[in-house]
A and B are shown apart, each in its own frame.
Chain A
Amino acid sequence: MPLALRLRGVVKRYGRITAVDHLDLEVPEGTCVGLLGPNGAGKSTTMRLLTAQAIADEGELEVLGHRLPGDSKAARAECGVVPQLDNLDTTLTVEQNLRVFAHLYRIPRAERRDAIERALDMARLADRRDTRADKLSGGMRRRLLIARSLVHGPRLVLLDEPTVGLDPQVRQELWALIDALRAEGVSILMSTHYIEEAQRLADTVTIMADGRAVASGRPSELVLEHVGREAVEVYGPPARLAEAEAEARAAGYNTRRTGTSVSVLGTERANGDAPEGERRPANLEDLFVLLTGEEAE
């Protein structure tokens, strides 16, 4: 399958800190790839590298067939970017925000109105076209950011933590919007630290920790490969949890603490030494914690 995006051995350093460390990443055309990692894993830096707002110290970057950073402008013309932090023109209306970006993305005059209407419809903001951006709710502002990134009909959309800080209902609305994009064949790279978001939207995920890609593939295959099929959830008082954790580790199982319980992972391999507890299928969250050492949200 042709690639919308390809990174090979990309390194980005800020002084003595290596934010991205020999990262390999691929987004096949028409797929949604989730870039999953805890805060500080290097996800946002990776996003900035893809728009040439950060320049790699080493490695190769190719976006839609354009080599970066040299051909970044051509690549950016075909990409849409939804930033983690809101950077709308707050004193402008919804439609004016889109009109500005229709100009910045060089949409010909004859096509501009249709492009704006299409973006408004897709983001379900047509009835808010004359509302100033600073009068919109948080969810609507996010939808406007997405509409802004779509106004020129991009082939690749970069979503940097698209639902961070939003309530669950608004998050669901945005997921539907992103899913509709994917259904239209737009390639998507989405950074997130929400497990559920990656699980619902991404065809494949790349898990990042300390600037490195520690695992990459389909969520179910990654879970099977690194965690196993099954986990046992052990509940009890803190002393019991500590005891269960120690026993499981001694028996060679991976474990994770989730506050009120201990999850013992990969218990389908047990030979009668599995702890007593509630059995459940292993999931992406188990994988995330196992590989990054951090609790997921």
Chain B
Amino acid sequence: MSATAAEPAAAARPRTTLGRLERPALMGVLVREIINFSSFWKSSVFSSTVEPTIYLLAFGFGFGSLVSHVAGYDYVEFVGTGTVATAVLFSSVFSAMFGSFVKYQFQRTYDAILAAPVDTEELVTAESLWIAARAGVFGCAPLLVAMAFGLDPSWGMLLVPFIGFLTGYGWACFGIFIAARLNSIDHFSYVTSTVVTPMFLTAGTFFPISGLPEWAQVLAQFNPLYHCVQLVRGAAFGFQGWVDVYHVAALVVFAVAMWRLAIHYMGKKLID
């Protein structure tokens, strides 16, 4: 083979563009996640469903004894539908943040996967899809508990796993983005305290945001969890037309933005 003059290869750096996703690569990563999940599903299901259920019971029956109705709903029903978003958040963002960090930093799992015919874009997408699927399922737990305490089932509730999936996808990507940006697992507490907790508390889960100052109500529009709560309540009690389309659009924008950020920064982390 003849030698050719060396030329700069930097220009040939593969760009993370849309359309590079290959189904076999996504499936490979998903299969890995599913096989792994079979070894720790009990603890995962427990942690992802019990905590939101405790919130539901504590707030529903604690505050519920003081406040019977909120925004026209029975308080247990109000909180029961709201904590779906909490379950989705907890089961997606923390899994993604801690899971991704451990996999690339300590277990070097991502190095192993990227040595196979899988790109960072496919890795991040498949990981997020799996976390989102779990979040969609786990998100139903508070709803089922609320039903046991009087929430009437409705056909619209069949959409809740899909709402949870869409919301969970965005939060999973957010978690991977954070894992890629921070250099120490200890720093995650900054994100939890300054981003996750405030969003969780101002999503309209435990009280309607209409009671908040106007600036807080405006800020809530940028909180994806708020849109998730509104959609779940719509699914349970009846959708409101274009307003719900707006909520879906907000979640889609959040998911796409976080997806691209997660791919970009995880790529920078994994590819030297």
Interface residues of A, Cβ cutoff 8 Å to B: 2-3, 6, 8-10, 12, 14, 22, 24, 26, 45, 48, 51-61, 67-70, 72-74, 76-77, 79, 81, 83, 85-92, 96, 99-101, 103-106
Give Cα distance in the complex from A86 to B107, angstroms.
8
- Tell me the complex Cα distance, A106–B1, Å: 30
* Complex Cα gap A22–B4 (Å): 13
Q: Mark B217-258, 1 if CB is under 8 A from A, else 0.
A: 000000000000000000000000000000000000000000
Q: Please state if B9 and A60 are interface contacts (CB–CB under 8 Å).
A: yes
CB pair B108–A83 under 8 Å, yes or no, is yes
Nearest A residue (CB) for B110: A87
Stretch at the interface among B21-29, B53-61, B86-94, B193-201: B21-29
Pairs across A and B, CB under 8 Å, 20 listed: A6-B1, A8-B3, A8-B4, A8-B6, A52-B114, A52-B271, A53-B114, A55-B13, A69-B9, A73-B118, A87-B109, A87-B111, A89-B35, A91-B40, A92-B39, A99-B31, A99-B35, A100-B31, A106-B25, A106-B117
Name the one of B5, B9, B36, B119 contacting A89, with C-beta atoms under 8 angstroms.
B36
The residue from B8, B9, B29, B108 contacting A104, defined by CB atoms under 8 A apart: B29
> Is B7 located at the chain interface by the 8 A CB criterion?
yes
Residue of B nearest to A106 (CB): B24
Q: Hey, which chain A residues are within 8 Å of B40, CB to CB?
A: 91
Given A54-B271, A87-B107: A77 and B35 interface contact (C-beta under 8 Å)? no
Shortest distance between the CB of A269 and any CB in chain B (Å)? 34
Q: Are B7 and A103 in contact (CB under 8 A)?
A: no
Decide yes or no whether B148 CB sits under 8 A from chain A.
no
B116 within 8 A of A: yes
CA distance A69 to B16 in the complex (A): 12
A67 to B11, CA, bound (A): 13
Residues of B within 8 A of A88 (CB): 112
Chain B 254-271 against A: per-residue CB contact (8 Å), 1 yes, 0 no?
Answer: 000000000000000011
Binding site for A on B (CB under 8 A): 1, 3-10, 12-14, 24-25, 27-29, 31-32, 35-36, 39-40, 107-109, 111-119, 270-272
CA distance A67 to B108 in the complex (A): 26
- Shortest CB-to-CB span from A247 to chain B, Å, is 44
Select from chain A the residue with minimum beta-carbon distance to B28: A104
- The answer to whether A59 and B6 touch across the interface, beta carbons within 8 angstroms, is yes
Assess the B13–A69 pair: CB atoms within 8 A.
yes
- Cα of A51 to Cα of B120 in the assembled complex, Å: 13
Nearest Cβ on chain A to B117's Cβ, whole angstroms: 4
Query: Which residues on B sit within 8 Å (CB–CB) of A12?
Result: 272
Among candidates B3, B29, B115, residue contacting A81 with C-beta atoms closer than 8 Å: B115
What separation, in Å, do the CA atoms of A181 and B38 have in the docked complex? 33
Known A56-B9, A100-B32, A103-B31; judge A83-B14 contact (CB<8 A). Answer: no
CB pair B113 A104 closer than 8 Å? yes
Of the candidates A83, A96, A103, the one whose C-beta lies within 8 Å of that of B115 is A83
B39 touches A53 (CB 8 A): no
Q: Is the CB of A22 within 8 A of B6?
A: yes
Q: Nearest B residue to A69 by beta-carbon distance?
A: B14
The closest CB in chain A to the CB of B108 belongs to: A87
Instruction: Determine how close the nearest CB of chain B comes to the CB of A31; give it in whole angstroms.
Output: 14
The 10 A-B residue pairs with the shortest CB-CB distance, nearest first, are A9-B6, A87-B108, A104-B28, A54-B272, A81-B115, A104-B116, A77-B117, A87-B112, A103-B31, A103-B28
Q: Nearest Cβ in chain B — how far from A211, in angstroms? A: 14
CA distance A14 to B4 in the complex (A): 25
* B272→A89 contact, CB < 8 A: no
Verify A51–B36 contact, CB threshold 8 A.
no
The answer on a CB contact under 8 Å between B32 and A103 is: yes
Cross-chain contact B271 with A51 (CB below 8 angstroms): no
Q: Which residues of B contact A69 (CB under 8 A)?
A: 9, 12-14
| Given A53-B111, A104-B28, A60 and B116 contact (CB-CB distance below 8 Å) | no
A105: chain B residues within 8 A (beta carbon): 28, 116-117
**Complex contacts, A72 vs chain B, CB 8 Å:** 14
In the complex, A104 Cα to B114 Cα: how many Å? Answer: 10
Closest residue of chain B to A50 (Cβ to Cβ) is B115
CA–CA, A76 to B29, complex, Å? 15
Q: Which residue of B lies closest to A75 (CB)?
A: B117
Query: Given A83-B108, A89-B35, A106-B117, 13 more contacts at CB 8 Å?
Result: A26-B1, A54-B271, A55-B13, A58-B7, A69-B14, A76-B115, A79-B115, A83-B115, A89-B32, A89-B107, A96-B35, A104-B116, A106-B24
